[in-house]
Structures are given as structure tokens and as C-alpha cells.
Amino acid sequence: MKFLDICKKASFKIIKIIHQNDTTLFDKVEKGFGGDVSMKIDLIAEEIFIKAFKKYGNIFSEEIGFLDNDLKKTFIIDPIDGSFNISNGFPYYGSSVALKNKKGQITKAFIVNLATGDYFYKDKKIKIENNLFYNKKHTNSLNEMILFEKAYANVDLCQKLGKHNIKYRSPGALALSLALAHRCKAVIFKGEIRDFDIAAGIYFNNELHIKIKNDTLLIAKNKKDFKYLSSIVF
């Protein structure tokens, strides 16, 4: 199984559908397994990934839940990460897939920004950050950005960060933000922590400083930043 190639092909299929400019793709259809109301594009993207991976393993996805194919491996899928963004034309939405072996360990991860084509891949041997459409060259970064996902639902924590004059942005797609953690000062999330939201992103940057406690997640590149933000966030 060529995991990366399959993920890329599935991503191209989803991007092609998105670019049809069919507004019915954003029609709300039902509540998915993860508890959020699904849109038509969520279900279409999920079906694309299911067809791509079902012969290789079980599926655990945000919309359908656990699909038991009586196999040893499991694919953890978030078909559309950032549904609100995609339905409003904000170019920060994507898909993520993590491969879990029979021991319950993540061994491969893929995250893609379907708006820009940027993708992130990691397995036990390599870590890749590239683009579906061209060979990407990265600009320098000061690594000063803090991403706080779901800030709108955590006013108390926003106020704490404000008291310490900490600037942050809340772009609205957790898997993408976690995949970018190595280019940021930190990523913060407070809310329901679900495997299909974090599995791929955490694995991609698992060499960074990470803490997950109850409903709060913090990941930071620098140990000093990690300790300082931990004292505020937790």
C-alpha cells in the first residue's frame, strides 16, 4: 500500500469537486458520529477516503464512526477539517488521515490544506512538507505565531492570554494548525479532544513539546515557551 500516493489522489478528487462551485456542497444533511452537523461535502470527502482505504484496514471517521473491515490496521480520518471555513470561502480547510497499527500506534500521517495544496506527511523514516501542485519552497519564519483553536468558545482563557499580552490567531482547522506547529510558537486547543481531529497532526509534530490534559492541548517548539504557556493554559 502506497499510503502517501493514495492520500494525494484522494485529495485531488476532493479538490476537483470543491472547484465545481456547487453551493449545494455546503447543504447541511445530518449530524455525524463526531457530533457536528455534516455538510454534503463532508460525506462526499469521507466516501472518497473510505473507497481508497477500506481494503487496507478499518475506518474510524468523523462522519460514519468506526467501520469494521475485520483488518488489523485502522485509518483515522477527518474528511473535511474546517467545514465553516470551506463553506465561507476562507482558504484554511483540509483533510487528515492517520494510520494506526494493530498495537494501537500511529505509524503514518497525512494532512492537506485543500485550498492551497500544502500537505504534510510523516512515517517512521521521513517527514515531508510539500505541495500537491508544485515543488514548494519555504520562506523564513520568525516562529512568533500562536494559534488558538476554538478561542471563540473559551472566553476565560482568552482573557488570561490577554492579561499576559499574548497575541494569537484562531484560523479554525485544528489538524492543519497542529501540522503547522513546528512553524509557530505554539498551538493551543480547548474543547472536546477527538482522535480524528488530532491524531495525524500530533504524530506529524510529535518531536515537539506536547501536553494534553482533560479538554486542553498545548504543543510548542521551544521548551521555554512551552513552560510559560503551560502555566497559563493549564
149-168 confidence digits (pLDDT tens): 999 999 999 999 999 999 99
What confidence tier does 34 reach under pLDDT thresholds 50, 70, 90?
A: low
With CA atoms as reference, report the closest residue to 10 among 59, 58, 44: 44
In this structure, what C-alpha cell is assigned to residue 43?
A: 460525506
Judged by DSSP in three states, 52 sits in helix
Residue 193: the pLDDT is: 94
- pLDDT value of residue 64: 84
| pLDDT, position 137 | 74
> Are the CB atoms for 115 and 155 separated by under 8 Å?
no
Mean pLDDT, the chain, rounded, equals 93
pLDDT higher than threshold 80 for residue 76: yes
pLDDT at 62: 82
pLDDT at 35: 63
For residue range 90-121, list pLDDT tens digits in order.
Answer: 999 999 999 999 999 999 999 999 999 999 99
Is-contact 39 67, C-beta < 8 A? no
Measure Cα distances from 75 to 58, 192, 201 in Å.
6, 20, 14
The residue length of the chain stands at 234
CA geometry: angle at 56 spanning 46 and 75, to 5°? Answer: 45
- Find the distance separating the first CA and the last CA of the chain, reported in whole Å: 41
What is the helix (H) or strand (E) element at residue 103, kind and residue range?
A: none
What would the pLDDT profile of 179-190 be if each residue is shown by its tens digit? 999 999 999 999
Close Cβ partners of 54 (under 8 Å, ≥ 6 residues apart): 67, 69
Summarize pLDDT for 48-65 with one digit per residue, the tens: 999 999 999 999 998 788
Q: What is the distance between the alpha carbons of residues 155 and 149, in angstroms, rounded to a whole number?
A: 12
Report how far residue 29's alpha carbon sits from residue 111's, in angstroms, rounded to the nearest whole number. Answer: 25
Share of the chain above pLDDT 90, in %: 82
Q: How many CA atoms lie within 13 A of 128 on its CB side?
A: 19
pTM of the model: 0.94
Four-point Cα dihedral 125, 131, 134, 136, nearest 10: -70
Binning pLDDT at 50, 70 and 90, where does residue 13 land? very high
- Is the Cβ–Cβ distance between 174 and 151 less than 8 Å? no
Q: Residues 6 or more apart from 211 whose CB is under 8 A from it?
A: 217, 218, 219, 226, 230, 234
The pLDDT value recorded for residue 32 is 62
Asked if residue 21 has pLDDT above 90, the reply is: no
